[in-house]
């Protein structure tokens, strides 16, 4: 792939061992820069658009090549949607290697649809995303019981199905948690 010295601003090195940012064992790319400034944000050090470090995308590829046992890659931050072109290049690289992709953003899906009209790179990035965790973290809606997200307003969106149908389709949490199986087993106790 021709990268033409493209870079991405990151808050940290690629983390290789998260089990809380999506299903299975995941690598997490912590992007730098976020203007949502949610009250109670756990990573305010990632807000500054001049913070972190500008890293060649080639170096991110090298870190991804070193992964061995991960099920997927999560883009978090910061808000990856402020760097849609660089993120889409990395997401395509991950997808070609067979990883599923989860992305955390402070924008809602509907806001991203509007923004994509003036920035086509947002749609390009969305094309590679399996699940989008959307919306700001709202401390009043904080709920430790929510799957893979901090507050109840945030949604786990099945992006391929949503793009196909034009309506927001949610990730099937019951299926993921095996709730149907659990209920079925209970009837036999």
What are the residues binding ligand SF4 (CB under 6 A)?
Answer: 34, 36-38, 41, 43, 46, 77-79, 106, 136-137
Token look-up 């203007």 returns 35
How far apart are CB 35 and ligand SF4 at their closest, in Å?
8
State the residue number with the nearest CB to ligand SF4: 106
H or E stretch including 76?
A: strand 72-76
152: nearest Cα among 171, 169, 133, 168: 133
**DSSP per-residue letters across 2-31:** --TT-EEEESSSPEEEESSSSSSSEEEEEB
Cβ nearer to ligand SF4, comparing 22 with 77: 77
Cβ nearer to ligand SF4, comparing 77 with 84: 77
How far apart (Å, rounded) are the C-alpha atoms in residues 129 and 134? 12
Cβ nearer to ligand SF4, comparing 70 with 154: 154
User: Where would I find the H helices in the chain?
Assistant: 57-65, 84-96, 109-115, 120-126, 159-165, 173-177, 179-187
How far apart are CB 188 and ligand SF4 at their closest, in Å?
43
How far apart are CB 45 and ligand SF4 at their closest, in Å?
10
Cβ nearer to ligand SF4, comparing 43 with 116: 43
How far apart are CB 172 and ligand SF4 at their closest, in Å?
24
């Amino acid at each position: 792939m021709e990268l033409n010295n493209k870079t991405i601003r990151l808050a940290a090195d690629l983390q290789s061992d998260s089990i809380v940012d999506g299903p299975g064992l995941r690598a997490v790319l912590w992007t730098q820069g976020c203007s949502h400034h949610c009250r109670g944000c756990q990573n305010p050090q990632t807000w500054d658009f001049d913070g972190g470090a500008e890293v060649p995308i080639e170096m991110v590829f090298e870190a991804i090549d070193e992964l061995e046992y991960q099920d997927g890659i999560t883009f978090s931050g910061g808000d990856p949607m402020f760097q849609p072109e660089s993120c889409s290049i990395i997401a395509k690289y991950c997808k070609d290697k067979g990883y599923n992709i989860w992305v955390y953003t402070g924008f809602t899906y509907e806001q991203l649809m509007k923004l994509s009209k003036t920035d086509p790179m947002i749609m390009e990035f969305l094309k590679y995303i399996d699940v989008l965790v959307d919306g700001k973290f709202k401390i009043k809606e904080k709920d430790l019981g929510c799957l893979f997200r901090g507050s109840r307003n945030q949604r786990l969106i099945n992006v391929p199905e949503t793009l196909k149908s034009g309506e927001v389709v949610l990730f099937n949490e019951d299926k993921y948690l095996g709730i149907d199986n659990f209920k079925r087993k209970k009837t036999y106790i």
